[in-house]
Amino acid sequence: MTDAKTQIDETVKANDVVLYMKGTKTMPQCGFSSRVAGVLNYMGVEFTDVNVLSDDTIRQGIKDYSDWPTIPQLYVKGEFVGGCDIITEMTLSGELDQLFEKSGVSYDKDAAEKIREANA
């Protein structure tokens, strides 16, 4: 499992925003992954997607790495942020905007507002 941990560690540290998900950002293969990828895509966030369905060692390795049992998992600047429920809550509360601003990650503020308006 060390190889998977090393590979995951290098990926989350080399990229500003990483989403470990089922499927890809253009073709998610589960509803939860689709929701998080959809939010990031809509907000214009550049992110690296890692399809856990294509590698069982990464699929288990990411759960061990974060000590979080579910996928998707979002990382910003090397830090684990959360899964679908947490990202949804952070998007609606504006906390995700704050995290992106603090981390220097560019995103579309108007798109973030539209998400909140649509879910008010």
Question: According to DSSP H, which parts of 43-108 are helical?
Answer: 56-66, 84-93, 95-103
Domain span holding position 24: 2-118
* C-alpha 31 chain-centroid distance: 14
Tally of domains in the chain: 1
The answer to whether the annotation marks 84 as part of a ligand binding site is no
**Is 1's pLDDT higher than 80?**
no
CATH number, residue 7: 3.40.30.10
pLDDT tens column, 73-120: 999 999 999 999 999 999 999 999 999 999 999 999 999 999 999 998
Give φ, ψ of 79 to 5 degrees.
-105, 135
Per-residue model confidence (pLDDT) at position 116: 96
**Is 11's pLDDT higher than 60?**
yes
pLDDT tens column, 41-79: 999 999 999 999 999 999 999 999 999 999 999 999 999
